Structure 1
Amino acid sequence: MALMPKRVKHRKSQRGRIKGSATRGNTVVFGEWGLQATQPGHISATTIEACRIAANQYIRGDGKLYIRIFPDKSVTARPLETRMGKGKGEPDHWVAVVRPGTVLFEIAGASRDAARDCFNRVAHKLPVRVRFVERRPIG
């Protein structure tokens, strides 16, 4: 089951632009290793679910996966072969808006090599470029 909000204030949202870098959610907080976006983009709920399954199949209970993004923006679509000028389409799917620097996934309780291999599998499913990051020591 793909992620989506329980309820929203407005069903339909405008597309908008993704400007600037992430100022929040840009550090590894929950785990030791993270996957950080280096490009802006939209990641659909089905893509997040596919990444979750791929990561959980790889770590197999040796570590814990944290998903740091949530698809809370609706994307509308018109039916195929519909003429122009009949208004905005109905909500089709949900996406997470990702800015450069956003940490998408984190892993705790796994070795560096295992986390790198796991995130390598996940990165192939993502529509944005990503990089492997580690937790910075506090102080």
Structure 2
Amino acid sequence: MLLQPKRMKYRKYQKNIQNKKKDNTYELAFGEYGIKAITNGYLPARTLEATKQVLNKKLKKAGKLWICVFPNIPRTEKPAEVRMGKGKGAVSFWVAQIPAGQILFELNTNTPELASQVQKIVNKMVNIPVRLIKREEAL
């Protein structure tokens, strides 16, 4: 099932919603390695879920994965061939707002080769450029 909030104060938001930047998402908290975003962007819930499934399949029993972002911003779309006006469209999908430097995934594994393979997979699947960081580099 795709990630989305259980309940929200308002069902629809304007597109330029600005979340307050959280200070705790720029340092490693759980794992030895982290996948860090280099630039700003949005990460759809479908992409996040697909990436999570591929990474869990890749890691198997060799490591543990933590997801550090959550898609809590709704995106609306109007149906095809609908005339202008008549209000805002229905909620179509959910996205996570990613500021530059935020950690997307954390993982714990014994081999650095596996961590670099995970970084290559995430770089292909996510539309934001990412890099691999280690616990010593994050401090």
TM-score where L is the length of structure 1: 0.91
CA distance in 1, matches of 2:24, 2:60: 30
3-state SS, counterpart of residue 51 of structure 1: helix
Residue 89 (structure 1) aligns with:
89
Counting matched residue pairs gives 138
CA distance in 1, matches of 2:62, 2:26: 25
Matched residue type, 1:104? L
Matched residue type, 1:14? Q
3-state SS, counterpart of residue 5 of structure 1: coil
Post-superposition, which runs of at least 4 consecutive aligned residues in structure 1 deviate over 6 A?
none
CA distance in 2, matches of 1:138, 1:127: 23
- CA contact 1:78–1:89 (8 Å) conserved in 2: yes
3-state SS, counterpart of residue 136 of structure 1: helix
Task: Answer 1 or 2: which has greater helix percent.
Answer: 2
Matched residue type, 1:85? G
- CA contact 2:34–2:106 (8 Å) conserved in 1: yes
3-state SS, counterpart of residue 69 of structure 2: coil
3-state SS, counterpart of residue 125 of structure 2: coil
Matched residue type, 2:29? V
Q: Deviations over 1:18-61 (max 9, x none)?
A: 79x87440111110001100111110000001110111111112
Aligned Cα root-mean-square deviation (Å): 2.1
With over 3 angstroms needed to count, the CA separation of the structure-2 counterparts of 1:103 and 1:11, relative to structure 1, is same
Gaps of 5+ in 1: none
3-state SS, counterpart of residue 116 of structure 1: helix
Residue 37 (structure 1) aligns with:
37
CA distance in 2, matches of 1:45, 1:5: 11
Q: Deviations over 1:79-120 (max 9, x none)?
A: 011111111111100000000000000101332111110121
Residue 71 (structure 1) aligns with:
71
Residue 135 (structure 1) aligns with:
135
Task: Using the aligned pairs only, state the percent identity.
Answer: 35
3-state SS, counterpart of residue 124 of structure 1: helix
CA distance in 2, matches of 1:87, 1:110: 53
1:10 to 2:10 alignment: yes
